[in-house]
Chain A
Amino acid sequence: MNRSILLVLGVVLLAVGLGVSYAEWASGSQPWGQLLGDNFLFARSLPFTIGFGIVFGFWRASGWRWSRVEARAGSIRRFAPSTVVLHALAGVAVVALIATGGWQYLKGLLDAESPIYMATVYRIHYVAASLLIFVSVAFLSDWLLRGERSLTLGKGQGIRGLRGLAHELPKPLGTTLAYLLGLDLRRAAPPTDEFTYYERAVSFPTWELTLGLIILTGAIKAVRYIYPIPGDVLYWVSAVHVGAGVLLGLKLLDHLRYVLAPSRWPLMVAMATGWVPESYVKRFHAGWFAQLSSSQATAGAAAASPAASTPSPVVGSAGSGS
């Protein structure tokens, strides 16, 4: 109940924040055109967007069902419904940002006239940026509050994780990595948990770096008309923002390359439905399957003698959440 009240408060504050800025922009008291008006609206809404993201993350984390392993006829829940929705929103935002940001960069690079009104391109860019910031902050708050670490290698698991990565990579790359880091590939590959070693050691950290850079530099650029920022700083911030934008385009290419591999199609389906076939988990995510099985056994034992034990949380959380 309390968490829902907090969520409603977050929505109200966001609406008030946007409303006040919009009212000032619409009143005509400021001589702003569409582009500058949108910039002010975006910059002023940032604290409210971030605040709403934190509240939403708290709402999600506090409603998460920790100990449940959800399974149905031959399938296991891999993602909560809200994770599916937030991931889809982030995907739409990233594509829109790459398209509009790329358009702005190419216009300058090629010194060409844009057939599309540039203020409209910037408007879409700001809306998509707000969406991405909200989703990123919501995920970050939620994961921090729940102590969710399934997308990282985990403390003390670096060498094991890198050995798993070397086994997962194509042989020439894997053996090169093993040679450079002194990893013993004669040892069997460690069983894969909920996420593959590539996702945990390469893919997710690069998403964090790219999104962190682009959000931070984008926010600094956006507030430059509200808070004076030295020209030199702004030059480098802009350069890093463009570089991070190109990196984001490259990252999306690699992400699609990874998830559109035929062998990983069930995981792609799981990102849309939340469910993954049990046979697939058993075959390709043996570590996760073992965790789920032991959780189910613990839950079964606890149900048989409620006073004997308490359900242990599932690492990587297969719970349905809110």
Chain B
Amino acid sequence: MKYLWALLGLLYALLSIYVGYLFFTAGTGARLSQKGLLLQAPPVLGGIALVLLALPLIWNCVRLATSRSSTA
């Protein structure tokens, strides 16, 4: 069960990084650039936040999958 959760967490983190990338590229793209900073900021900031918060999750999933003791 521990490995399944580590895998699920890893998948969610990787998907979040991909979505964060899509948010960032769409936010800085030509289409939203014409609409002003107010509409650009949410996807750009949201994209960066998604990537930043996904990294510690990846780290913990790897630690969970490789840890020997459950209460280490």
Chain A residues lying within 8 Å of B46, measured Cβ to Cβ, are 246, 250
- One digit per residue, 1 when the CB lies within 8 angstroms of any chain B CB and 0 when it does not, for chain A 244-286 equals 0010011011101100111101101100100001001001000
Encoded as 1 (CB less than 8 Å from any A CB) or 0, chain B from 36 to 60 comes to: 0000001100100110011011001
Tell me how far the C-beta of B9 lies from the nearest C-beta in chain A, rounded to whole angstroms. 5
CB <8 Å contact, B70 and A265? yes
Q: Given A253-B50, A280-B71, are A242 and B42 neighbors across the interface (CB < 8 Å)?
A: yes
Within 8 A of A (CB), among B13-55: 13, 16, 19, 22-23, 26, 31, 42-43, 46, 49-50, 53-54
* Pair A249/B16 contact, Cβ less than 8 Å: yes
Q: A249 with B64: in contact, given A109-B22, A109-B23, A265-B71 (CB under 8 Å)?
A: no
How far is B12's CA from A245's CA once the two chains are assembled, in angstroms?
Answer: 15
Q: Would B22 and A263 count as touching, CB distance under 8 A? A: no
In the bound complex, CA of A263 to CA of B71 (Å): 5
Contact string against B for A residues 217-242, beta-carbon threshold 8 Å, 1 for contact and 0 otherwise: 00000000000000000000000001
- Please give, as numbers and ranges, the residues of chain B lying within 8 Å of A250 by CB-CB distance: 46, 49-50, 53
Q: Are B70 and A266 in contact (CB under 8 A)?
A: yes
A246-B46, A262-B67, A266-B70 given; A256·B57 CB < 8 A: yes
The 0/1 profile, CB within 8 Å of B marked 1, for residues 87-101 of chain A is 000000000000000
What residues of A have a CB within 8 angstroms of the CB of B5 in the complex? 260, 268
Q: Say yes or no for A102: interface residue by CB 8 A criterion.
A: yes
Pick from B26, B50, B54: contact of A109, CB under 8 Å: B26
B67 CB contacts on chain A under 8 angstroms: 262, 265
A265 adjacent to B2 (CB under 8 Å): yes
Interface residues of A in 279-314 (CB under 8 A from B): 280, 283
Out of B22, B50, B63, B70, name the residue touching A106 (CB < 8 Å): B22
CA distance A252 to B23 in the complex (A): 18
Considering only CB atoms, which chain B residue lies closest to A257 in the complex? B57
A 104-142 binary contact with B (CB < 8 Å = 1; else 0): 001001110000000000000000000000000000000
With A102-B19, A260-B5: A249-B50 Cβ-Cβ less than 8 Å: yes
The interface centre, meaning the residue of A246, A256, A263, A272 with most chain B CB atoms within 10 A of its CB, is A256
Residues in A whose Cβ lies below 8 Å from that of B60:
256-257, 260-262
**Within the complex, what minimum Cβ distance (angstroms) separates A134 from chain B?**
24
Closest residue of chain B to A254 (Cβ to Cβ) is B53
CA distance A254 to B53 in the complex (A): 7
A201 to chain B, nearest CB (A): 18
Could you tell me the distance in whole angstroms from the C-beta of B28 to the nearest C-beta in chain A?
Answer: 12
Contact of B63 among A110, A254, A262 (CB under 8 A): A262
The answer to whether B54 touches A253, judged by C-beta atoms less than 8 angstroms apart, is yes
CB <8 Å contact, B12 and A252: yes
Q: Does A243 contact B (CB under 8 A)?
A: yes
Within the assembled complex, what's the spacing in Å between the Cα atoms of A249 and B46? Answer: 10
Could you say which residues of chain A place their CB within 8 Å of the CB of B22? 106, 109-110
In Å, the complex CA distance between A179 and B32 comes to 41
State in angstroms the CA–CA spacing of A26 and B39 once bound together: 40
Query: Within the assembled complex, what's the spacing in Å between the Cα atoms of A26 and B72?
Result: 57
Residue pair A261, B64 in contact (C-beta under 8 Å): yes
CA gap between A17 and B6 in the complex, in Å: 41
A260: contacting residue among B26, B42, B43, B57, CB under 8 A: B57
B residues with a Cβ closer than 8 A to A are: 1-2, 5-6, 9, 12-13, 16, 19, 22-23, 26, 31, 42-43, 46, 49-50, 53-54, 56-57, 60-61, 63-64, 67, 69-72
Could you list some 6 contacts between A and B, CB below 8 A?
A109-B43, A250-B53, A257-B53, A257-B56, A262-B70, A265-B64
